[in-house]
Amino acid sequence: MQAVAARRVVSAIFFMCGSFIGLWASRIPHIKEATGLSEGGFGVLLLIMAGGAFVAFPFTGVILDRLGAAPVSKTLAIATAICFTLVGIAPSNLLLAVALFMAGFTFGALDVSMNGWGAEVEQALGRPVMSSFHGLFSLGAGVAAQLGGFAIEAGLSVMQHFVLWGALSVPFLIWFWSQAWPKAAPEGGDEQKAPLFALPKGALILAGLVALVAALGEGAVTDWAALYQIQDLGYSEAIAPTAFTVFSVGMVVMRLAGDKVVARYGPVPVARVSGLVAFFGCLLLVSGLHLWVVWVGCFIMGIGYAVLFPLAMSRAASDPILSKGVALASVATLGYGAFLIGPPLLGFVGELFSLRASFVVVALLTLALPLLAGALRVKD
């Protein structure tokens, strides 16, 4: 069955896309040290990367309508592998900024297109599978982050590490390109297309804030957890990526089980408990009492944050006022905005105070999740 085969391909693309995030997260301390920048200065580089992703969104939407999600995803998978490899070999801060912009652009575009292809596969299969795709994204990120720790222990430079990872992705890219998938017929006219940077309105604002807080927490761990362990807690660079790895494992476990848990208990109770769980994990991370306490905190944060963004998107899709496209676009704008722009802003907090203070901010925002959870109730 073509849909079954396509599900394997999309799963692999999600895994590979996540692996590049894990690759990047594992070498952030080395890259920051090589640039000689402060937390604030490095935060500017992260903003440049985020800017690339935001620039990509409108172009990706137009191209998807014209060419289809599958060919665009396969092309962008190649481009993303190339651009992340360029990040690792950039010889100067200026060229690193250019490479990060390109990596952000291709990664952001791939994120949109692979979700589009995943939605088409889900529709063809006639059952929900999107949560499993996102679980594999988190798995790829965690595996790559842990292998990054091994690469550091083995003495691989950033350049050697990124080039090796790019080379290992070549067989998968060839396989992606060989898979066929029919272009989906366009749905509706131009008047039904969602505006790219729409913002939520009315009660949907609260659901958007849930997505924002959850995405900010995920982005904070991705970009700053390793440096926090090294600079604030004094642990070695080789073991620092483990925090992101265990966070990703928590995300994978909960995302793979999330559909059944929500079906049994309902979105609002699950969101409230998830918010409290994430807050408790933040407290353990901030405490820095012991290396194992930090890692357990990251794992618990992963479990807590895992289903919140999908729940916010489900609420948006069932909004009684806005059309599905507009509602989804508005909530996604807040979520992606927080994931991409939030960590650089936390970097500025880290420069003024400490990275521990940055995670205190994350913890305080997370405490609002149980209060916002009621907005995720889906009306029948």
- For residue 380, CA distances in Å to 42, 200, 217 come to 47, 20, 30
Mind listing the pLDDT tens digit for each residue in 27-71? 988 898 899 988 778 888 888 988 888 778 767 766 777 788 889
Q: Show the low-confidence residues of the chain (pLDDT under 50).
A: 1, 187-192, 194, 324
Distance of alpha carbon 172 from alpha carbon 166, whole angstroms: 11
pLDDT value of residue 132: 79
**pTM of the prediction?**
0.75
Alpha-carbon distance 237 to 239, whole Å?
6
> Which CATH topology does 1-182 take?
Growth Hormone; Chain: A; (1.20.1250)
pLDDT digit string, tens, across residues 339-352: 777 888 888 898 88
**CA 6/CA 4 separation, integer angstroms:** 5
79: CB partners within 8 A, 6+ apart:
106, 110
Q: What is the pLDDT of residue 259?
A: 75
Q: For 311-326, how does the pLDDT look when each residue is reduced to its tens digit (9 = 90+)?
A: 887 777 667 777 545 5
- Output the pLDDT for position 204: 84
The ranges of the chain annotated as CATH 1.20.1250.20 are: 1-182, 193-380
- Rounded to whole angstroms, how far apart are CA atoms 45 and 98? 9
376: helix, strand or coil: helix
Q: Which CATH class is domain 193-380?
A: mainly alpha
* Mean pLDDT taken over the chain: 84
